[in-house]
Structure 1
Amino acid sequence: MRQTFLLIPILLAGCGEKTAKPPAPPAHAEMIAHESELLKLTLTPEAQHRLGISLVRVGGGSATAAREVAGEIVVPPISANGVPVNSTTNLQQIGSQQAAADAELARASAQARLARIALDRAESLVREEAGSVRARDEAAAALAAAQAALGAARQQRRLLGPAVASLGSQAVLWVRASVFGSDMGNVRHEAAAMVRTLGDAGAPRSARPVQAPPSANTVAGTVDLYFAIDNRDRAFRVGQRVAVDLPLAGQTEGLSVPSAAILRDIHGGEWVYQKTAPDTFVRQRVEVASESGGRALLARGLSTGAQVVTNGAAELFGTEFGAAH
């Protein structure tokens, strides 16, 4: 007869020594229901010190109203009546026209010099009573005609702009900003605009307004404004697309925080970390109306007196999503 033996485990009691309590973790993440995948971060004072957390209270502020529009870097003309050279210009065609204009300018200059010599000779003969007054008058008329042709040749050459070979080495370039016709009345035409390269978080560059031949896009309903920008450091290239902040009439009121407090995710969302309780921080969505001088003016998202993180905001972002900083 087969017998079945059951093995009963024996639990051994401890020796009476108490186990040491594990230390509290430096950071604790807790899910809250304000927004999808939004966490409440609780950090120990030591963790806050290591991350360099510093806070600032949200206060009121104002900024000059501005409108961001699309812009393009173009080459300014030589004369006030010239047309800027942009990326849609047929450089091969304009180069051929410039060569023909240069040749015509040289021919007109030579004709003017010959006419001046002929007039001087005719006047000398008249003074010596060896020539006729009629010949002198004809020489003067020929000089006037040659000088008129020379002036026309110079103006035609100026209208064609700088030489194609020198387009990339211009110390001053123009920015063509396309503005909707409905916004033209609000733009301050006498004020400078701020130009930023696309995708660059660096400081914008000031550009002064300039007069240019009128141009517009009837299909898009936009009017072109032109601004001159210093390009001695070769930071911009002809045809480059840029963002242009046009100054508008009036002031924009709102809440102001340091620009260092603003975080942007991969979808373009704008956030700050708000202190909601002692050692507790929550990521709060905001909407930035404008930025200038290291300050960001908020359109919505916070209330006056709220405390937000400035230094250490990126480190909190890494703590929340598990990225190392």
Structure 2
Amino acid sequence: MHQNGRGIKQGDRLLKMQGKLDRGPVEFKSHIVEQEGEIMAIATRDVISVPPTQSILAAVEQMTKCGFRRLPVTDAGTGRVIGIVTSGDIINLMGGGDKFRLVQVRHGGNLIAALNEPVRTIMTQQIATLQRDARIRDAVDVIVKKKIGGLPIVDADDVLMGIVTERDVMRVLAAEHSTLRAEDVMSSPLRVTGPDCPIASVTRDMTKYKLRRLPVVSDDVLYGIIAATDIMRYLGSREVFARLTTGNVAEVTELPVRTLIAGELYTTTPEKSINEVAREMLEKNIGALPVIEDSRPIGLVTEFDLVRAFAKG
């Protein structure tokens, strides 16, 4: 990871770097995905779920321990899916959006009290699901149209049978050869943040713009990348409690985002084929790769971008 001690104080902004190539709009040809086998063939069957009475903190700890971005919420008696809690919900709770009212209003800013509330208070209730006989292209349609990263699979009684994610779908679709390159599918211009930007500002930007991750840039150089899962892990590992003295949420959300950036930073280049990009992401178990040209970040390729590109061919 590039470390820049001169990190400037900067909030969310758009990084408009077109690079040396003319990147006009890319037109995708529409075609139906070939694979039409049962969705259960690629889904995770042994799904961990939580009851609606489980505390938010316990759910976050479970997601952190297992490396999940989402957990279905099921009725303890019937096993029926009644909601889902995601890293996005946690970002919202940490100051990103309307769920922050649980902390600020109901508990007067006390984060610990809010985290002990039942998970049903922040879960998403109206969720998209797939039937167990669905085809892969059905999953692709929902993922692309609704921009959903994971779908619970249910039977006729809405009992949880499995879960399929965009990574599962990408793994299958990436076997199809594509002539597209990273620059053809990447998100650009980039919305970025700075290393000294407070966590609260990052959670607001992620919620407002419906982003799961933000490149962290200092002096036009990529410093790192912050993902919703990094902030969720901050809670789930209980590291956040070491920084609490009064219990007020501001004690942890006012910290600079650079305190949460860890691990190796992987990048890709604009000319790399999306098949190669997909393989690298699967091998490294990461959800996105910044695209670098002339030492500068010019875009971001995510699992969602690849699913959409492979599906449209």
TM-score, normalisation: structure 1: 0.20
- The structure whose residues are more often helix, as a share, is 2
- The structure whose residues are more often strand, as a share, is 1
Larger Rg: 1
